[in-house]
Amino acid sequence: MESKKTSSKIGVYICECGPNIADNIDIDTIIARLPSLEEYQNKELVVKRYKLLCSNEGKEFLENEIRENEFTHLVVAACSPRDHDTTFINVCKKTQLNPYLYKMVNIREQCAWIIPDKEKATEKAIRYIRAATSRVLKQSELIEKQLDIDPGVLVIGGGISGIETALSLAGKERKVYLVEKSSELGGKMNMFKELLPRQNGNRDIIEKKIEEVKKNESITIFLETELESAVGFLGNFEISLKNIKNNQPGAEFTVGAIVAATGFRLTDTGKLAQYKYSKESEVYTSLEIENMIKRDGKIVLKSGKEPESVGLIHCVGREEKGYCSQICCNYMLKFISFLQQQSDSIKIKDFYRDMCLPHKEDQGFFEEVKNKGADFIRISDVKIKGTHVEYTPIGKDKKEVDVDMVILAPAMEPEKGTEELAELFNVPLSETNFFQEEHQQLNPVETSIEGIFIVGACHGPAGISESMLQAQAASGKISTRLIPGKKIVPEVKVSEIMEDFCMGCRTCMDICSYGAITFDGELSVCVVNEAICRGCGNCAGSCPSGAIRAKHFTSAQIYQEIIEAIR
């Protein structure tokens, strides 16, 4: 939609930037030549210079000029928009000139500072200003919308990450819905008794948190329930649940954000030939040992006798999975420490490849355990036949040993159903099948869909502390974004699809990373949900029939800009 005003009046303001622009560009030449250029013959053009537009006096001057001249469009030729685009946008906002009818041109870094020849620099500046002036005439007003939000949050998964998220967010004005597929809260934590020394050793804190969740009136708990559908966008997701037991539809409600905290499972060691074992043998996975400690208070053989020698094998399935699970070294040390306390004469053989001890307290724990007499053997290869271990120490020949018990540290992988959930949300999984962050470093607990978050072991292998911090991080983001009673302003530079031109090929739907495009089966056209679209423009570029327009970056605008710059 081009500007509807029939008579345009454009203000072009050139900043001298002290001597920075004025000395290297002949501003008077620009002022003299610009209005006489052919393309502006029928336009009302005001071209003026000013010593420093970004100064307070400069901003005031510009503000008065816009008001007095009743400009319909504004061009500011000055420094890099990275320095002062926001400055002049704010000037526009003060004067009621829609900021999308303004354009900034960089004649300092891109002309004055890099072209030694003044005449050439001036020539380039004219072309740039001409390009911007022609473009701005093709720009349209865009109006920011304010949307009501629901501050409520849906948390999927009743493990420690989900519990921490719920507790961090629930309050008088923010309801939390906690959905758990099993019949009790706690997740994998229910199998644990002992935590790491740096986590204070016992599970009291966790126990307390589970009790708090149950007591909190702002938290609604749904057990044996799963998510049936979630449709919407940040601030407004329509949720339907499903009762797993009777396969009946469950509750329906609206929330502003969703947090997936669906956790992990251990990789199936049965699928790895070198670690095959039968249930009758004395070979256990780490979770079986955790459970044993919780149930029996000690680590024992099937006979009930305490083992005299234990072999621990790290990195089970790591190569196959393609990542390090980062917590296994630590919990193996925890088991060794437990065994050492259980029996003074315990013989430990720990078969590892690399010790992964990324927390500041970990190495101290490792040394403590090692000094008590555990034998740590760095290996290049290991295989078991029951409790008979064949291993190759690094740089040495193959050896073998018989132990009473073998403990395996299988790789963590995303819990069953993660893939289906990702599909339901329309968010991508990473190469390693865990959920993928919107940006690995800068937005690590949110997905590509704004308002859908990922915390705990579904985000990647994580221990209790890391999971809880992630839960708090998601809560932090949600509580700054969804403030009860406040509205949100979605992006206005979004894409729009012109129905008449859309062939319904759905290429754009594959391209869109944000799930902002849906297909209207009745009209057989694609439709953009403006509340979800973030204006990246990828769909506009991909549309084979040119039916998609990225607002503020339309083909007409860009074409006009290029043509004026090069002709």
Partner 1 sequence: MNSKDKILVIGAGIAGMEASLLLANAGRSVLLVEKLSLTGGNTIKNEDSFPNLECSTCMIAPIQQDILQNPNIEVMTLSTVKKVEGEAGNFNVTIDKKARYVSLVDCIGCGMCYEPCPVTLKNEWEENLSEKKAIYVPCEGSLPNVPAIDPEHCLQLNGKKSCNACVEACMFGAIDLSEKDEEVQVDVGAVIVATGFDMFDAGKISNLGYGKFPGVYTSMEFERLFASNGPTSGELVLRGGGESPRSIAIIHCVGRKELGYCSGVCCMDSFKYSHFLKNKLPDAKVYNIYSDICLPNKTYQIFYNKIKGEGGGFIFQSSPEDIEIKESSGKLGVNLTDRNGAAESLDVDMVILACAIVPGKESENLAESLGIELDGKGFFLTRKEDVGTVETSKAGIFVVGCAEGPKDIQNSVIQAEAAVGKAILIGEINGK
Residues 154-193 that bind partner 1 (CB under 8 A): 164, 168-169, 171-174
Task: Pull the structure tokens for residue 236.
Answer: 């407004």
Q: Does 95 bind partner 1 (CB under 8 A)?
A: no
User: Distance between CA 397 and CA 391 in Å, rounded?
Assistant: 9
Question: Smallest distance from the beta carbon of 92 to partner 1, in angstroms?
Answer: 15
Q: Among residues 94, 100, 88, which one has the least CA distance to residue 15?
A: 88
Within 202-241, the residues that bind partner 1 by CB under 8 A are 205-206
Range in contact with partner 1 (rule: CB under 8 A) among 234-242, 272-280, 281-289, 470-478: 470-478
Residue 10: burial class (beta carbons within 10 Å; 0-12, 13-18, 19+): buried
Q: Does 281 bind partner 1 (CB under 8 A)?
A: no
**How far is CA 85 from its chain centroid?**
27
Q: Does 83 bind partner 1 (CB under 8 A)?
A: yes
Among 43, 94, 294, 359, binds partner 1 (CB under 8 A): 359
Q: Is-contact 79 62, C-beta < 8 A? A: no
Range in contact with partner 1 (rule: CB under 8 A) among 91-99, 242-250, 483-491, 550-558: 483-491
Can you state the angle between helices 118-138 and 555-566, rounded to 10 degrees?
A: 160
Task: Between 81 and 504, name the residue whose CB sits nearer to partner 1.
Answer: 81
Task: Pull the structure tokens for residue 331.
Answer: 């919990």
Question: Smallest distance from the beta carbon of 126 to partner 1, in angstroms?
Answer: 22
Question: Smallest distance from the beta carbon of 72 to partner 1, in angstroms?
Answer: 27
Question: Smallest distance from the beta carbon of 328 to partner 1, in angstroms?
Answer: 11
Range in contact with partner 1 (rule: CB under 8 A) among 36-44, 96-104, 136-144, 467-475: 467-475
Cα diameter, the chain: 100
Range in contact with partner 1 (rule: CB under 8 A) among 33-41, 132-140, 322-330, 502-510: 322-330
Q: Among residues 220, 263, 265, which one has the least CA distance to residue 239?
A: 220
Among 4, 215, 305, 360, binds partner 1 (CB under 8 A): 360
Q: Does 470 bind partner 1 (CB under 8 A)?
A: yes
User: Distance between CA 362 and CA 294 in Å, rounded?
Assistant: 23
Question: Smallest distance from the beta carbon of 209 to partner 1, in angstroms?
Answer: 9
Question: Smallest distance from the beta carbon of 490 to partner 1, in angstroms?
Answer: 14
| Side-chain half-sphere exposure of 311, counting CA atoms within 13 A | 25
Q: Is-contact 375 348, C-beta < 8 A? A: yes
Q: What is the pattern of x (binds partner 1, CB under 8 A) and - over residues 116-145? A: ------------------------------
Q: Does 363 bind partner 1 (CB under 8 A)?
A: yes
Q: Among residues 482, 474, 442, 438, which one has the least CA distance to residue 456?
A: 474
Range in contact with partner 1 (rule: CB under 8 A) among 236-244, 260-268, 389-397, 526-534: 389-397
Question: Smallest distance from the beta carbon of 471 to partner 1, in angstroms?
Answer: 8
Contacts by 268-277 with C-beta closer than 8 Å and gap 24+? Answer: 268/410, 269/316, 269/317, 269/408, 269/410, 272/316, 272/317, 272/320, 274/382, 274/383, 274/384, 275/313, 275/316, 275/383, 275/384, 275/408, 277/384, 277/386, 277/406
Point out which residues pair with 349 in neighbouring strands.
311, 375
Question: Smallest distance from the beta carbon of 476 to partner 1, in angstroms?
Answer: 3
Q: Does 195 bind partner 1 (CB under 8 A)?
A: yes
Q: Does 397 bind partner 1 (CB under 8 A)?
A: no
Within 401-460, the residues that bind partner 1 by CB under 8 A are 430-432, 434, 437, 440-445, 460
Q: Does 86 bind partner 1 (CB under 8 A)?
A: yes
Among 54, 66, 131, 163, binds partner 1 (CB under 8 A): 54
Q: How large is the C-alpha radius of gyration of the chain?
A: 32
Main-chain phi, psi angles of 59, to 5 degrees = -65, -40
Q: Does 197 bind partner 1 (CB under 8 A)?
A: no
